[in-house]
């Protein structure tokens, strides 16, 4: 349940006085906001408080996270010269607070696993190239098509940055990792395979020696599920558009699936949420290898009591 914190008054109280990057640079505060949803909701795993653009901030890229908007960049990357903004990430020296936060969280969590995460190259590139959130990804797709070599360099550079961040999180104690390709669903399968998959695979291959489960997630990626599995993940996340049984068929054997209750339904009353949760569990069936989750992040107006009830329901009926 990503961004579950947004619905919690205890998180909002901290955010009233402290900025996103300020929280991330303070390991004790990061640990606190990471643990808040675990305490309140009783979920089976924690996800580290950070953001997909945190490694870029750490290497000095001019990026801000605007409330209600998302990541916004001072200077979009659209030419070879713009690439000079990027350099390799050395997680130990560029973002030492991450490993420290992971150690604090893991110590507090006990047997509950911590999931580390990073952005997939395409989704991070989309913010960098557009300069912020986008609906059409016009500049991103134009760059991909007109300058395929520059595009490949950009995506491989971003893959290496995410990989360095993920390795640091695992070496500090994270038990699993998730790679968010939230906006890959804007691409056709052919474009995904040609222009994106090789760079994402670089991340999964680069983690193989660490032996932790690797989750690969996107929104609106029904047509890409097989390819996202082929990129090297152990678990593929699916949003609410494709039922779990069909998602499993598309993902193929030997992988687990994560999902997929529509987070919007959690704004409704329990008599709406319960049958929908039941449908997800029924679609997953008895076979092992299903992680119940929302199909995307928690919406800020969600009542935390609904989420708590949902967690309890899945624990009882899953």
Q: Which residues are known catalytic residues?
A: 2, 6, 15, 51, 127
Distance separating alpha carbons of residues 303 and 268, to the nearest angstrom: 9
Check the CA dihedral 172-166-176-71 and report its sign.
Answer: positive
Distance separating alpha carbons of residues 258 and 150, to the nearest angstrom: 33
Could you tell me which of 47, 17, 43 has the C-alpha nearest to residue 178?
47
Residues paired with 179 in a beta bridge: 118, 216
Q: With contacts defined by CB under 6 A, how many residues of the chain interact with ligand CP3? A: 24
Residues of this chain, 126-145, that bind ligand CP3 according to CB under 6 A: none
- How many residues can be counted in the chain? 318
User: Applying CB under 6 A, which of residues 73, 117, 137, 204 lies at the interface with ligand CP3?
Assistant: 117
Identify which of residues 57 and 94 has a Cβ nearer to ligand CP3 in the complex.
57
Distance separating alpha carbons of residues 251 and 217, to the nearest angstrom: 12
Distance separating alpha carbons of residues 311 and 313, to the nearest angstrom: 5
Distance separating alpha carbons of residues 312 and 314, to the nearest angstrom: 6
Residues of this chain, 48-77, that bind ligand CP3 according to CB under 6 A: 49-52, 65, 67-71
Q: Mark 90-109 with x for binding to ligand CP3 (rule: CB under 6 A) and - for no binding.
A: --------------------
Identify which of residues 29 and 65 has a Cβ nearer to ligand CP3 in the complex.
65
The C-alpha R_g of the chain, in whole angstroms, comes to: 19
Task: Find the residue with minimal CB distance to ligand CP3.
Answer: 182
Distance separating alpha carbons of residues 158 and 164, to the nearest angstrom: 10
- Kindly provide the residue ranges of all beta strands, DSSP E only, lying in 162-271, ordered along the sequence: 176-180, 214-217, 235-237, 256-261
Identify which of residues 219 and 282 has a Cβ nearer to ligand CP3 in the complex.
219
User: Applying CB under 6 A, which of residues 10, 15, 152, 241 lies at the interface with ligand CP3?
Assistant: 15
Indicate the DSSP class of residue 167.
H
Identify which of residues 20 and 35 has a Cβ nearer to ligand CP3 in the complex.
20
Instruction: Collect all residues with Cβ–Cβ distance below 8 Å to 59 and sequence separation of at least 6.
Output: 86, 87, 88, 89, 94, 161
Q: Closest approach of Cβ 287 to ligand CP3, in Å? A: 27
User: Per CB under 6 A, does 20 bind ligand CP3?
Assistant: yes
User: Per CB under 6 A, does 47 bind ligand CP3?
Assistant: yes
User: Per CB under 6 A, does 2 bind ligand CP3?
Assistant: yes
User: Applying CB under 6 A, which of residues 137, 180, 195, 240 lies at the interface with ligand CP3?
Assistant: 180
User: Per CB under 6 A, does 151 bind ligand CP3?
Assistant: no
Identify which of residues 2 and 40 has a Cβ nearer to ligand CP3 in the complex.
2
Identify which of residues 2 and 141 has a Cβ nearer to ligand CP3 in the complex.
2
User: Per CB under 6 A, does 304 bind ligand CP3?
Assistant: no
Which DSSP helix (H) or strand (E) runs through 204?
helix 197-207
Residues that bind ligand CP3 (CB under 6 A): 2-6, 15, 20, 47, 49-52, 65, 67-71, 117, 123, 180, 182, 296-297
């Amino acid at each position: 349940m990503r961004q579950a914190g947004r619905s919690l008054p205890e998180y909002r109280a901290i955010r009233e006085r402290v900025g996103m990057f300020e929280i991330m640079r303070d390991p004790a505060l990061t640990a606190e906001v990471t643990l808040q949803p675990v305490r309140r909701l009783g979920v089976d795993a924690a996800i580290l408080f950070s953001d997909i653009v945190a490694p870029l901030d750490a290497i000095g890229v001019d990026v801000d996270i605007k409330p209600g908007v998302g990541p916004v960049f001072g200077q979009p990357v659209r030419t070879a010269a713009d690439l000079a903004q990027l350099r390799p990430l050395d997680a130990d020296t560029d973002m030492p607070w991450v490993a420290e936060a992971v150690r604090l969280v893991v110590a507090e969590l006990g047997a509950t696993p911590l999931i580390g995460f990073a952005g997939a190259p395409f989704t991070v590139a989309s913010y960098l190239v557009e300069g912020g959130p986008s609906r059409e990804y016009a500049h991103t797709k134009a760059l991909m098509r007109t300058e395929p070599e520059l595009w490949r360099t950009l995506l491989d550079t971003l893959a290496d940055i995410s990989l360095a961040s993920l390795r640091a999180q695992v070496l500090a104690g994270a038990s699993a990792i998730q790679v968010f390709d939230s906006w890959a669903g804007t691409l056709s399968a052919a474009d995904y395979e040609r222009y994106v998959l090789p760079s994402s695979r670089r991340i999964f291959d680069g983690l193989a020696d660490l032996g932790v489960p690797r989750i690969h997630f996107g929104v609106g990626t029904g047509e890409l599920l097989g390819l996202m599995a082929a990129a090297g993940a152990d678990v593929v996340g699916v949003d609410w558009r494709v039922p779990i049984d069909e998602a499993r068929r598309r993902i193929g054997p030997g992988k687990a699936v994560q999902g997929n209750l529509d987070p919007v339904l959690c704004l409704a009353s329990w008599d709406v949420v319960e049958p929908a949760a039941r449908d997800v569990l029924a679609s997953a069936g008895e076979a092992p290898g299903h992680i119940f989750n929302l199909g995307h992040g928690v919406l800020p107006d969600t009542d935390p009591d609904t989420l708590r009830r949902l967690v309890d329901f899945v624990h009882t009926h899953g």
